[in-house]
A and B are shown apart, each in its own frame.
Chain A
Amino acid sequence: MRICLTSLLLLCFACNETKRPLESIAEPIGIDQTITDQSQYSTLGLTKLSEYNFFDGKLSDLIPSKRVISYDLNTPLFSDYAKKKRFIYLPEGLKIGYRENEILDFPIGTVLIKNFFYSSGQLQVGTAKILETRLLIRENDGWVALPYVWNHEQTEAYLEITGGKIPVTLRNKRQINYLIPDMNQCKSCHDKGSKMTPIGPSVRQLNRLSDSEKKNQLEILRDHAWIDLPSHELPKLAVWNNNKTGTLSERARAYLDINCAHCHNDEGPAKNSGLNLTVFETDSYRLGVNKKPVAAGRGSGNLKYSIVPGHPEQSILIHRMQTIEPGTMMPELGRTVPHKEGVALIKEWIKNL
């Protein structure tokens, strides 16, 4: 009797479905920046980047014109190792409203200009290559995001609402199929309380020396009479890869804040997960410590908790940052390779929790 039952048990264990191996993703066909003017998009915005007159001289030199000021962030979003040149265009006579913790209050007419490029030092062949320029335009009824794709000759960028895919070879022979988001993908990240919003330019992110002028970026804006600053000390986010700017925890939290918290906040698209990764979160459970996934599907990677203190290898957070499998990887959009250095930082942080 006992033997029979045991064999029954064995059989039932043995006959689990055989697992299908993961299918490899087919190599996408690149558009390689053969982009042209599409008049059908003209109701959405200017179809050529040059028509906005944001830049003086040769367009690809990205020399800001009057009313355009460049800025950087303390800890930026990772985008497949692409470098970024960011600018603010502010209409004459207007001012940016100061907000301590949120994105600054940009007036109607503001345009945030973000150029994505690989430097000649990164590329296996050729000179620096700008791939795309994203505009966030503050219109009467809110922000609008428009993606512009640069042509191969680097003389113009065209509005391309369906986005694109550009194959790039880096010096280390790494192949990247750089993905340009379509217009609707933009809001998958730029969404706060169902409204389109910028992600980067908060006081804590802008509070740093300008690369070119060796002067604090916020003071530059103030000296241009673009913003009024309070007299108290301004919040400052750590630079994720500079340990002089913050503790391990501060740098890790800064990294999670910009790379994850645009969705994982109480008003963001990932609020249904109950995981909140903003730099302001103080509840360790909501930060993911010993928190079970809610609707992660195979994103859990057979792991039980978002963060297991001391054990990055058991933490879903790390698993989803490392993988490049769509449906599992985090963030869901905007990268096709893992950010090795960023993952290392978060691993170190979890190890020391």
Chain B
Amino acid sequence: MQRKIVWGLAVFFILALAGLVAHRQVQANNTFNGTVLNPPVPAADFVLASDHEDIHLSDFRGKIVLLYFGYTYCPDVCPLTLGKLAQTVQGLGSPAQDIQVIFISVDPERDTPQKLGQYARGFAPGFIGVTGTPQAIASVTHNYGIFYQKTNIQSPTNYLITHTSVVVVIDRKGQWRLLWPEDLQPPAMIHDIKILERQ
């Protein structure tokens, strides 16, 4: 009898431990890597020019939208981040058709819609590059908390632009859900998108 009690307790503790591990795993699977906006904020709409047509953010309701702000003269950080987004989209496989990456220029004086379109598509075929008037860019960057500032230098480029380097993540309902910091890597991005897709 005593042996049966001991065995019963052992089985109970093993099952309890397994349940705890499974619960932790479920929690980890549903925990975002990016910075969470709680509660989510309705993503401010905008209209900016691509090399084909004017683009409204609301055109992409039903898709997960990733916004990144930069400029085409930037040879290093911007390609690095857009490259990571390309790896993320590639790593998702077929669900990638539900993802839209939009690269928004913070250099409206130099970045034309044609140059932006070619630049963005260089990272992945479906990426869109957009620009607008300085006032339109000031408005959309303000809405998404993006800092940008010209720095004049002695160089043929005349100036460089210091800018916030984060990815704004908007869900299928048009709610701004996450901010991905500059150092987040594609596996962590894929993890976050998979959570959004399940919701």
Does B bind A?
no
Which B residues are within 8 Å of any A CB, using their own CB? none
- Residue positions of A touching B, CB distance < 8 A: none
